[in-house]
Amino acid sequence: MVPMMSQHHHLSDQMVYDILSRLPVKSIIRFRYVSKSWNSIVTDPYFKLNQAKSLSNNSHNGYVIYTKYPQKYIPCLQYPQHKVEDLCTVVCNSDNTLTEVSRIEIPCLYEPIVGFCNGLFILASPSPMEHSFQHIYLWNPIIRKFMRVASILGQPSTNSVTLGFAYHPRKNDFKILRLVCFKNEGKLLPAKAEAEAEVYTLSTASWRKFSVSVDSLSGLTIYRISESPSLFFNGALHSIAFTRDYKFILSFDVDDERFREIRLPQNYLVGVSLRREWLTILKGSLALIVIGDAQIDWSGVCHIWVMTEYGVAKSWTKKCVPMDKHAKFLSCTINGELLIRRYDLKVRIVSFDPESLKEEVLRIPDPRDVIYTTNFVESLVLLDGLSNECYSLG
């Protein structure tokens, strides 16, 4: 509901609500101090939800580029003497130059970004234990709030671990999914063992644990899950998972918390020697990017598989384009270009159009330092702290 002071002020409050929801976050934060009623509007959970939707619908085609430019030392939550890194929000111009919109200091060097969703970044520091995470943080760079997530439930020896970060629109909440496959004295667990899921809910600041169960597997066991961060799309988190017999896309519905199987394209590795594969979103559809060697002449090749009807295995379509076999896929832009890091004569970040095969080099000072990209949207999440583990960075 829209908060209101009285029936007499209902219309003016509604107008304020509508106007504020269309403003950038930094402006909203300034205006919250105009009056108590305005502050009440800004801090209302439903206002935050509508504000995020408004900005998402009107977002530009810019990228966020996470760069490693250590400039000075500042105190950090965990490491008192830490170098600062910058998170750059940039817009790609028609001449392929980049206009910097903002540059924000990243609070900790050793917590790499592993995901982004509705204005929040998730950062995770690797654990000394193999295939695990020591600390997980949520960070809203626009309002400069940084929250340490409660400790994960247990840290047994694992075969693979992956993280996913998702928004739950029905409850206006966020969830972190941690998928774990275990080891047993250096060997994989027996076939009857199941992978395990741990889910953290932001509103309750707590973890829950349960087994990963997929009805369509008919008793087959998931023994490994790709450690690339899970992809959030269509209300679910997606990872590539492996049984003893085959691999598939494991989806986790954020609403009903059920796991389902999405089949990969049939025989999709025929004719290509796989080097790397990524799940992504391409023009509003689930997609699979495969980079490897063409077995005919061992030249570099990229297969772009797009699922035109979500969840329907027969709807996968393929486009084959030439690609440096050592290239690394970074992300897709809103317009459908692929952002690729190339390693030929020198390291470059290029925007590649798979339809026209046109490739443009983005003019980035040191492309070796670009290690994370995403399409960015602002939000007010974490504005009120939510927990004792939430910190303001000035």
Digit-coded pLDDT (tens) for 303-328: 999 999 999 999 999 999 988 888 89
> Which residue, chain included where needed, has tokens 């952002």?
339
User: Tell me, what's the pLDDT at 192?
Assistant: 45
Comparison of pLDDT for 101 and 280, the residue scoring more: 280
Residue 6 has pLDDT above 80, yes or no: no
CA pair distance 117, 207, nearest whole angstrom: 19
Half-sphere exposure of 199 (CA within 13 A, CB side): 22
Q: Are 199 and 257 in contact (CB under 8 A)?
A: yes
**Residue 343 belongs to some domain of the structure:** no
> Which residue, chain included where needed, has tokens 């204005």?
119
Q: For the chain, how many structural domains are there in total?
A: 1
- Across 247-346, where does the E strand assignment appear? 247-253, 259-262, 272-282, 285-294, 300-307, 316-322, 328-332, 338-343
Residue 5 has pLDDT above 70, yes or no: no
Highest mean pLDDT among 10-14, 238-242, 329-333, 364-368: 238-242
**Residue 320 belongs to some domain of the structure:** no
Highest mean pLDDT among 29-38, 113-122, 232-241: 232-241
pLDDT (average), residues 365-381: 72
**Residue 100 belongs to some domain of the structure:** no
Q: Are 240 and 223 in contact (CB under 8 A)?
A: no
Q: Are 161 and 152 in contact (CB under 8 A)?
A: no
pLDDT (average), residues 286-296: 89
Q: Percentage of residues in the chain with pLDDT exceeding 90?
A: 27
Q: Percentage of residues in the chain with pLDDT exceeding 70?
A: 71
CB under 8 Å to 110, separation ≥6 — which residues?
A: 78, 79, 82, 125
pLDDT (average), residues 372-387: 68
CA pair distance 182, 223, nearest whole angstrom: 8
- ∠ CA 16-20-25, nearest 5°, is 160
pTM of the model: 0.82
**Residue 26 belongs to some domain of the structure:** yes
Residue 8 has pLDDT above 70, yes or no: no
pLDDT (average), residues 92-105: 68
Alpha helices in 158-290 (DSSP H): none
**Residue 137 belongs to some domain of the structure:** no
- To the nearest whole number, what is the mean pLDDT of the chain? 78
**Residue 61 belongs to some domain of the structure:** no
How is residue 83 written in tokens? 């170098």
**Residue 49 belongs to some domain of the structure:** yes
Digit-coded pLDDT (tens) for 192-206: 456 889 999 998 999
Instruction: Please give the DSSP secondary-structure letter assigned to residue 384.
Output: T
What's the domain range around 42? 10-56
